């Protein structure tokens, strides 16, 4: 029995079974570890996540339902994060007193410019807390390390709580107004140049220069208090980067501009994932007819005319988002265990039926295993802020206060 090209839908039995299995960790990580209104918010978030997970499996439309999940994660993140800043330190701006008190949340984008200087100088160039804080350095490092071993650059389409911004805006416009050529090496290599620049810059200045000058997410997280012409310049730059990289350029190009063309962490994760990640999206050259629909569909410029022609398919910058799987009319692209083009448990490689089809062709297929792992990881990482935002919204409607506890 041949698989239908491009058809990634699983049977109702498999979809329901895997959704029920997914419900167990979500019950713990998104619901039961919280109390009061946040627990109720967590229950709503878990229900929403389970619905999205079921839709990914049952419809096989990974591209659409993953994006809905990813955008929701980004939207859940910033209200909870900003509310937490107000609850813990009373304001959103980062002041000199906050830096001295190490009240600076640490995020994954700073990891490369913290790790390499740390290895060379034994200093962490960041004023955040090592442990115990809600965005502490060690907990973020641990999340990143685990994600690298399981998802590699899949982080950038399934876990990152920022990525939903350019992912969402890149799909809002019906037509491309500013075409980007994926074969343009300057565009594709720019994030790697940024990576080198921020790592070296941090090392030389012993300051986190990406965080201080180039972060596009400051407007929705925290920004330096404006107290001088230097901080005023950084403030203006922050606004330009937010609107430019996350909204305007994704709308015009229909590509994920921040993640595909700018982010140094994305470049770093491409290098790390090349070594650590067990999964990749692979091209089956025998099925490919060279139509280049995948080249046009890839939001991060990770498939080029050249990589198709030489049979490489998706490059190391691939975020395993699944857009090209949907675009390909021949089913020539799919998730694989790395370094294996075909898999013995792929229904397209043999005659599978009955329980063997369910077990080997569906549940143990690398596509299903990757989606399960990536979705679970994304849902767990976003559990705290999804429950936090929804719990606060409930509090707002019921008690008139966005603060958890309702005072
Ligand atoms: S190659 Fe495919 S899976 Fe990888 S980022 Fe591009 S569209 Fe997504
Ligand atoms: S969309 Fe599919 S068939 Fe067309 S070039 Fe890409 S891999 Fe080949």
3-state DSSP helix/strand/coil percent for the chain, to nearest 5? 65, 5, 35
CA-nearest residue, atom 7 of ligand 1: 298
Q: Specify the pTM.
A: 0.92
Please work out whether the CB of residue 298 comes within 6 Å of at least one atom of ligand 1. Answer: yes
C-alpha closest to that of 222 among 338, 117, 112, 127 = 127
Tokens of 339: 């370094």
Helices (H), 107-261: 111-121, 137-150, 155-158, 164-170, 185-205, 209, 229-243, 249-253, 257
Per-residue pLDDT, 39: 96
Please answer whether residues 397 and 47 qualify as being in contact, where contact means their C-beta atoms are separated by less than 8 angstroms.
Answer: no
Mean pLDDT of the chain: 89
Q: How far is the CA of 174 from the centre of ligand 1 (A)?
A: 20
Higher pLDDT, 357 or 42: 42
Please work out whether the CB of residue 283 comes within 6 Å of at least one atom of ligand 2. Answer: yes
Q: pLDDT at residue 344 above 70?
A: no
Per-residue pLDDT, 340: 67
% residues pLDDT > 70 (the chain): 92
What is the average per-residue pLDDT within 301-329?
Answer: 96
Higher pLDDT, 403 or 157: 157
Tokens of 25: 């960790």
DSSP string computed for 354-386: HHHIIIIIIITSHHHHHHHHHHHHHHHHHHHHH
Please work out whether the CB of residue 321 comes within 6 Å of at least one atom of ligand 2. Answer: no
Per-residue pLDDT, 65: 97
- CA dist 205 and 172 (Å) reads 40
Please work out whether the CB of residue 281 comes within 6 Å of at least one atom of ligand 1. Answer: yes
Q: How far is the CA of 180 from the centre of ligand 2 (A)?
A: 19
Atom of ligand 2 minimally distant from the CA of 303: 6
What is the average per-residue pLDDT within 396-407?
Answer: 78
Ligand nearest to the CA of 287: 2
Q: How far is the CA of 298 from the centre of ligand 2 (A)?
A: 11
Buried b (16+ CB within 10 A) or exposed e, 136-155: bbebbbebbeebbebbbbbb
Atom of ligand 1 minimally distant from the CA of 320: 3
Higher pLDDT, 58 or 206: 58
Residue of 5, 7, 291 to mutate, ligand 2, most atoms within 8 A of C-beta:
291
CA-nearest residue, atom 3 of ligand 2: 288
- Angle made by CA atoms 77, 93, 404, in degrees to the nearest 5: 45
In 30-180, which ranges are E strands?
A: 93-94
Lowest mean pLDDT segment, chosen from 2-16, 41-55, 208-222, 355-369: 2-16
% residues pLDDT > 90 (the chain): 70
Per-residue pLDDT, 407: 42
Phi-psi bin for 276: left (phi > 0), alpha (psi -120 to 50), beta? alpha
CA-nearest residue, atom 8 of ligand 2: 288
Per-residue pLDDT, 222: 81
C-alpha closest to that of 45 among 57, 31, 35, 55 = 31
Lowest mean pLDDT segment, chosen from 14-23, 103-112, 150-159, 195-204: 103-112
Q: Which residues does 207 contact at the CB level (< 8 Å), separation at least 6?
A: 125
Strands 279-283 and 333-337: antiparallel
């Amino acid at each position: 029995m041949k698989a239908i090209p491009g058809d990634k839908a699983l049977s109702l039995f498999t979809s329901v079974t895997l959704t029920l299995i997914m419900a167990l960790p979500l019950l713990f990580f998104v619901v039961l570890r919280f109390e009061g209104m946040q627990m109720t918010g967590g229950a709503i978030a878990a229900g929403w996540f389970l619905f999205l997970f079921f839709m990914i499996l049952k419809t096989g439309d990974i591209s659409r339902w993953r994006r809905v999940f990813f955008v929701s994660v980004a939207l859940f993140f910033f209200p909870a994060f900003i509310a937490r800043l107000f609850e813990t330190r009373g304001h959103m701006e980062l002041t000199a007193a906050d830096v001295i008190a190490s009240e600076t949340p640490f995020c994954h984008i700073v990891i490369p410019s913290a790790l390499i200087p740390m290895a060379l100088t034994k200093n962490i160039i960041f004023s955040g807390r090592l442990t115990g804080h809600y965005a502490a350095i060690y907990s973020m490092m641990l999340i990143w390390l685990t994600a690298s071993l399981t998802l590699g650059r899949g982080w950038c389409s399934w876990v990152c709580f920022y990525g939903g911004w350019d992912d969402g805006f890149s799909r809002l416009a019906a037509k491309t107004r500013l075409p980007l050529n994926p074969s343009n090496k300057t565009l594709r290599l720019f994030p790697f140049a940024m990576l080198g620049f921020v790592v070296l810059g941090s090392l030389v200045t012993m300051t986190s220069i990406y965080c201080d000058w180039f972060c596009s997410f400051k407007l929705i997280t925290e920004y330096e208090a404006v107290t001088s012409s230097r901080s005023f310049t950084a403030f203006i730059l922050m606004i330009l980067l937010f609107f430019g990289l996350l909204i305007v350029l994704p709308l015009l190009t229909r590509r994920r501009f921040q993640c595909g063309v700018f982010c140094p962490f994305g470049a770093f994760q491409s290098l790390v994932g090349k070594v650590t990640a067990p999964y990749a999206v692979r091209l089956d050259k025998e099925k490919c007819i060279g139509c280049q629909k995948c080249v046009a569909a890839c939001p991060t410029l990770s498939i080029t005319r050249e990589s198709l022609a030489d049979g490489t398919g998706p490059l190391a910058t691939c975020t395993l988002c699944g857009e090209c799987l949907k675009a390909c009319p021949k089913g020539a692209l799919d998730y694989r265990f790395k370094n294996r083009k075909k898999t013995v448990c792929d229904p397209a490689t043999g005659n599978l039926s009955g329980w063997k089809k369910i077990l080997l062709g569906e549940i143990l297929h690398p596509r299903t295993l990757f989606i399960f792992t990536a979705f679970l990881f994304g849902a767990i990482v976003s559990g705290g802020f999804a429950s936090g935002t929804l719990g606060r919204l409930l509090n707002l409607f019921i008690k008139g206060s966005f603060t958890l506890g309702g005072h």
